[in-house]
Amino acid sequence: MENIALIDWSRAQFALTAIYHWFFVPLTLGLSFIVAIMESIYVKTGNVVWKEITKFWMTLFAINFAIGLATGIIMEFEFGTNWSNYSWIVGDIFGAPLAIEGIMAFFMESTFFAVMFFGWDKVSKEMHLFSTWLVAIGSNLSALWILVANGWMQNPIGMVFNPDTARFEMNSFFDVLFNPNAYSKFLHTIGSGYVMGSLFVVGISAWYLLKNKDVVKAKKSIVVGATFGLITSIFLIFTGDESAHEVALNQPSKLAAMEGLYDGHRDVGIVAIGMLNPEKQIGDKKEPFVFEITVPHALSLLGFHDTDAYVPGINQLIYGDPKEGIEPASDKIEKGKIAISALKEYKEAKKADDNATAQKSLVEFRANEKYFGYGYLKDAKDIIPPVALTFYSFHLMVGLGTWFLALFFFVLYFAMVGKLDKQKLILRLAVLSIPLGYLAGEMGWIVAEVGRQPWAIFEMLPVGMATSQLSVIAVQTTFWLFAVTFTALLIAEIKIMITQIKNGMEEH
């Protein structure tokens, strides 16, 4: 029996942890490489100004790294405490990348972090630089394994369902690692971290220029940040395209929600700017948009690399479209129920040593296995994620990404022609863009995770079947405890960072 309150509070708790975790991670991913490049310039040129610049940004990196770690560990524990059914059913697959992350990346990252932060006068310049690069690579490898696990949740491949244990088991590690959703997600996520790191460096350096403080170091930092940001923003366009292509192929319900597409057809445009009709309900005849500006052909082209490609809408995914070979969701639910009951019969027959019935049930189960997860859904409309949240998050993320690209371009241009100090508006916009970077990153995760609903593992396991059997009050209590703790950590991080920044680059 599903307990809606428990599911929603468990969802809320995990979302809270993930949102707070993502306040810290992107800066770690991006700033680690920026610091490594700055230190490389120091080692190559021997100019001590670059050592001071590196040490300044490294201190900010270290504050962020330490606090980010706490939220990450809590998230991993939540798989056991709040999502024990999920961990039981897919632990064999999901556990592998997480274990590799712990062994390979975490140890590498933590060990060399100590050398990087405390070893300036204890190891040679080259060894120190090597450690800084390994911290950057280690942080990003951490992200790789987490995103391989997440990519598998979006597109579960490389596994089989074992009816005897009622668990999914991995049968190809390389399929899990080379899953298109894994690499596209990894590259898009680290790319967003690089942009965030760049916005942070550019924004804080812009603040120094506005205050006329540490001007030379700020100018040098801004060139590093803006160059890194500009190149990685361009990279983000390509990885975003690949990510959207994979969503189009494997998660049509997410794509339909991202675009507010109710009625699918061929040659579909993309909504550049639009406002959804709040009155619109699935299945009614109301217009989906209050207003919209559409780029013709673009959704078919970006999603399927063909301007004439068919893109199914929400209505086709729910009610089916025989012409395009799309089954109604209600049929999938029925087949899923047959799979569930066949599995139950199989287990009972096995228990009773009735091999003939067990064999017959197993054949029936395998024939409907693909729809197993659908059997737990109550209504065909449940297959569609929340449209408004997914749509606005996606469009806000894309809009902000475009703004960051323009910002990096103008900042770099004026820095290179030596006129950046006079561009007060651009400098102010650069400072204001720091929180926008965080917002864009959070929006990206909302698209990925809210867009995956109602599934914990896409089309395999609904979120409702993944939770632990806890009391609602226990989850509510820990939710508020985490909310207070994480907020305190975030405030602490911001305060420490502001103090360091106000001290200036000279202090380090």
For another protein, the closer CB: 178 or 482: 178
Q: Under the criterion CB under 8 A, does residue 187 sit at the interface with another protein?
A: yes
Number of residues interacting with another protein: please give it, by CB under 8 A: 37
Q: What is the DSSP string of 433-470?
A: HHHHHHHHHHHHHHHHHHTTTTEEETTTEEGGGTS---
The label of the residue with tokens 């309150």 reads 5
- Give dist(CA 442, CA 28) in Å, integer: 15
Minimum CB separation of residue 405 from another protein in Å reads 15
Tokens of 425: 């508006």
Question: Of the candidates 38, 229, 255, 6, which has an alpha carbon nearest to the alpha carbon of residue 129?
Answer: 38
Residue at token pair 């080692």? 43
Sketch the per residue contact string, 63 through 102, with another protein: x for CB under 8 A, - otherwise.
----------------------------------------
Please identify which residue in 122, 126, 174, 353 interacts with another protein, judged by CB under 8 A: 174
CA of 220: how far to CAs of 35, 227, 461, in Å?
13, 11, 50
Q: Which two tokens stand for residue 271?
A: 């909504």
Q: Pick the binder of another protein from 9, 23, 33, 371 (CB under 8 A).
A: 33
Tokens of 208: 């120094």
Least distance CB 404 / another protein (angstroms): 15
Q: Which residue has the tokens 């960051």?
A: 404
Q: What backbone torsions phi and psi does residue 309 show, to the nearest 5 degrees? A: -65, 150
Choice from 212, 279, 418, 425 touching another protein (CB under 8 A): 418
Q: Which stretch binds another protein (CB under 8 A): 9-17, 70-78, 118-126, 231-239?
A: 231-239
- 91-122 exposure pattern, b = at least 16 Cβ within 10 A, e = fewer: bbbbebbbebbeeebbebbeebbebbbeeeee
Q: Please report, as a single letter, which amino acid is at residue 413.
A: Y
Stretch that binds another protein, among 203-211, 227-235, 281-289, 352-360 (CB under 8 A): 227-235
Near another protein in 132-151, by CB under 8 A: 140
Please tell me the distance from the alpha carbon of residue 280 to that of residue 383, in angstroms, as a whole number.
17
Asked whether position 40 contacts another protein by CB under 8 A, the answer is yes
In the list 55, 220, 332, 395, the residue contacting another protein (rule: CB under 8 A) is: 220
Question: To the nearest whole angstrom, how small is the minimum distance from the Cβ of residue 37 to another protein?
Answer: 5
A 10 A CB-CB count for 257 gives 26
Cβ atoms of 443 and 397 within 8 Å: the answer is yes
395 token code pair: 């469009």
Single out the residue of 448, 443, 452, 451 nearest to residue 401, CA to CA: 443
Binding window for another protein (CB under 8 A); candidates: 4-12, 62-70, 219-227, 483-491: 219-227
- Which of 167, 219, 350, 508: binder of another protein (CB under 8 A)? 219
Least distance from another protein to the Cβ atom of residue 218, Å: 12
With binding defined as CB under 8 A, does residue 190 bind another protein?
yes
Which residue among 13, 87, 142, 184 contacts another protein (CB under 8 A)? 184
State the burial class of residue 386 (Cβ atoms within 10 Å of its Cβ: 0-12, 13-18, 19+): middle
What is the rounded distance in angstroms from the CA atom of residue 50 to the CA atom of residue 35?
10
- Should residue 460 be labelled a site residue for another protein when binding is judged by CB under 8 A? no
Q: Of 295-324, which residues contact another protein (CB under 8 A)?
A: none
The residue whose two tokens read 């508006």 is: 425
Cβ of residue 221: shortest distance to another protein, in angstroms? 10
Q: Which is nearer to another protein, 250 or 453 (CB)?
A: 250
Q: Least CB distance from residue 47 to another protein, whole Å?
A: 9
For another protein, which is the closer residue by CB, 148 or 271? Answer: 148
Of 175-183, 345-353, 386-394, 442-450, the segment contacting another protein by CB under 8 A is 175-183
**Structure token digits, residue 116:** 């990087």
Query: Are the C-beta atoms of 454 and 383 separated by less than 8 Å?
Result: yes
* Residue placing its CB nearer to another protein in the complex, 159 or 446: 159
Structure tokens of 366? 């395998």
Q: Is 498 a residue that touches another protein (CB under 8 A)?
A: no
> Which residue from 130, 161, 173, 235 is in contact with another protein, where contact means CB under 8 A?
235
Name the phi and psi angles at 196, rounded to 5. Answer: -65, -45
Judged by CB under 8 A, the residue of 23, 228, 404, 414 near another protein is 228
- CA gap 179, 488 in Å, rounded: 38
Options 224, 270, 342, 460; binder of another protein; rule CB under 8 A? 224
Our CB check for another protein shows the closer of 6 and 415 to be 415
Q: Which stretch binds another protein (CB under 8 A): 7-15, 110-118, 232-240, 489-497?
A: 232-240
- What is the number of residues in the chain? 508
CB of 216 to another protein, least distance (A): 7
Footprint of another protein (CB under 8 A): 33, 37, 40-41, 44, 140, 155, 157, 174-175, 177-180, 183-184, 186-187, 190-191, 216, 219-220, 223-224, 227-228, 231-232, 235, 238, 242, 250, 412, 415-416, 418
